[in-house]
Structure 1
Amino acid sequence: MTKLEQIKERMLADDAFSKWLGIEIDEYAEGYCKLHYTVRAEMLNGFGIVHGGVVFSAADSAFAFACNTQGRISVALDVHVNFVRAAKTGDVLFVEAKELHDGYKTGVYDIITRNEAGEIVSIFKGTAYRTSKEVLSS
């Protein structure tokens, strides 16, 4: 198993919230993560559409997986999200996190959530702070 695969498995093993979301990682590479999940009834708000917190959280998970590929524990320093389109029960949402900047102490990421038709559901920008602690030694 490569170091990158070990990092992914370590993060997945301890991430109960991503498990609750039903996240499945489709692609994982340095500075990159693509995942998907299916919207369930318990993820809906009072208007019958996916709760913004769920969309935010799934994007935040993709962000975390992408920024920790560097091997050092990285945490969110700043994030912004724009909700563009609603989703409902049964919709499969695809989340793609791409590294835009790889600095020694910070990284900047673009995370886009799309529905099955390829339409944008949310646009999430994140800045990560890289600590000195190693993911695999924590």
Structure 2
Amino acid sequence: MIRTIVSAAGVFVSTSIDYLFILIILFAQKNYGTQKGQIYTGQFLGTGILVGASLVAVYFVNFLPEQWMIGLLGFIPIYLGIRFAIIGEEDEEEEEIIHKLEERGSNRLFWTVTLLTIASGGDNLSIYIPYFFF
């Protein structure tokens, strides 16, 4: 049990060290005192979403035969390439999302930190999924 806890803590620290630099930049802003709660909650929500997505992926991966896993992963870049060829980049969607966040005002920093955590933690899924699977 202790071994599992130490191992999980090591995986979390090793994959989340890049967040340290993001958080340093966010906390270095002038309005740190009034907005630190939003930074903390955004960070925790983003990390929770990443861990939750990993657990859901592991749940569904358990239904696949082990011989198929690598082959099925090859469909992801094929899908992304076809989608990009047909639809192209969706800059308009990003502008709409930014506009909606700006309308909300005070929650903007919270959602920005959450999205930053998810965006910079996407590579963590490649660590969490095999860790939870085995």
TM-score over 0.5 (shorter chain): no
* Higher Rg: 2
- TM-score with structure 2 length normalisation? 0.28
Greater strand share, structure number: 1
